[in-house]
Amino acid sequence: MINLQELYIRDFNYELPAEKIAQYPLEDRSASKLLIYKDNSISDSVFENISDIIPKDSFLVLNNTKVIQARLHFHKSTGALIEIFCLEPHHPELNLNEKTGAVWKCFVGNVGKWKHGKLSKKFIHNSIEIEITAEILEREKDYFIVKFKWNNENIGLEDILRDIGETPLPPYIRRDSQDIDKNRYQTVYAEIDGSVAAPTAGLHFTDKILKELIKKNIDINHITLNVGAGTFKPVKCEKIIDHSMHYEKMTVSKDFLIKLQNNENPVIAVGTTTLRTIESLYWLGIKLSLNAGLSTDDLIVEQWDPYTINTEIDRQTALNFLIEMLNREEKDYLTAETGIIIAPGYNFKFADILVTNFHLPKSTLLLLIAAFTGNDWKNIYEFALNNNFRFLSYGDSSILYKQKLQEYENKR
């Protein structure tokens, strides 16, 4: 068990020049550079070659969440611009087809100019003029509760966001969103609406690459984790133990759990969101082993569970607890929340290989990389900086083998 008191965020820092942060995607998704970390050594290639790099027969896991057009712009009668960033519904269940009204948790830009009253915006939907209003109901610590209403019961919030919403680019992309972002800040396999940030490791995949992987007998699987704006939340405290993680909704099918339980091949997580999801499954199973009375409505992974729960079972047994619970409740999908933080010293239960972009200094995502690669994370990032890799969401990619993962090499 690691000593969390000895983890300081200052030890997970590096200098990231502004010019290294990609502001636009490449014209070709698969043209991104690809850093390869394996056997404690580093080399480079291009992403279009990834099907030749990963082990054959691998169990590949993708996050099929879809980014919603979450930014709305309103103008006050004075001309002041107010930006409302829709984070998630105020009530737990995401429903983008709500008619005539919805209440959401939101960030509000330039809120000092919006002290009271309603904002209004008119737009055309299918040749019909629609008016939507926004009103702040209350202010929470990190966000506002905003009530939206519109005057046509034939359209839902999904239609409104599609018509007048803008792509929620992360704050380090220093430009307004453009038409190109509606397509490129989305994976080609995006399917389930609900994220306000893209699972960016998947942005490099193309339909052609996915077909090549299938030919190589790669078992392609999908999970869903709705990525929240909290993924960009900086670690502001000195000690990592004092940081509060964001919680995100995850959904996996019973079929996926059964396949993962029976899998004997290397598990490749595409992105930190995918890795956090599949690792959370183990801790959900542990919780069920300790309290068989839990239902799917009670399932949540708290951020420090992996470091404070002393019980340990094998991963197949952990998954079996989840499968049996779904069978009892006659459900085909497991839905839960996870706030898991993966820091150096974490013992990975499922993930063997990670495909991921390059992350911000002093971030929880960099902690995850350090947990996966050990102190070599410093060499990996130094190599990327010195070899013209592009960083962050629209940047280049890497494929990282977990330290001491040698037994799968002969499966290439």
How many domains does one find in the chain? 2
Residues 100 and 62 in one domain: no
For helices 315-329 and 272-290, what crossing angle results, to 10°? Answer: 80
Say whether pLDDT at 120 is over 90.
Answer: yes
Residues 266 and 205 in one domain: yes
Say whether pLDDT at 18 is over 90.
Answer: yes
Q: Report if residue 14 sits inside a domain.
A: yes
Residues 57 and 115 in one domain: no
Say whether pLDDT at 38 is over 90.
Answer: yes
At 324-379, the pLDDT tens digits run 999 999 999 999 999 999 999 999 999 999 999 999 999 999 999 999 999 999 99
Residues 295 and 383 in one domain: yes
Q: Report if residue 179 sits inside a domain.
A: no
Q: Report if residue 177 sits inside a domain.
A: no
95 pLDDT tier (thresholds 50, 70, 90)? low
Among residues 219, 210, 336, 240, the alpha carbon closest in space to that of 284 is found at 336
Q: State how far the Cα of 73 lies from the Cα of 219, in Å rounded to an integer.
A: 42
Identify the CATH number of the domain in which residue 296 sits: 3.40.1780.10
* Among 104, 136, 165, residue at a domain's last position: 165
Residues 226 and 356 in one domain: yes
Could you say which DSSP state residue 133 is in?
E
Q: State how far the Cα of 396 lies from the Cα of 35, in Å rounded to an integer.
A: 8
Q: State how far the Cα of 404 lies from the Cα of 390, in Å rounded to an integer.
A: 28
This prediction's pTM? 0.92
Its domain, for residue 153, covers 71-165
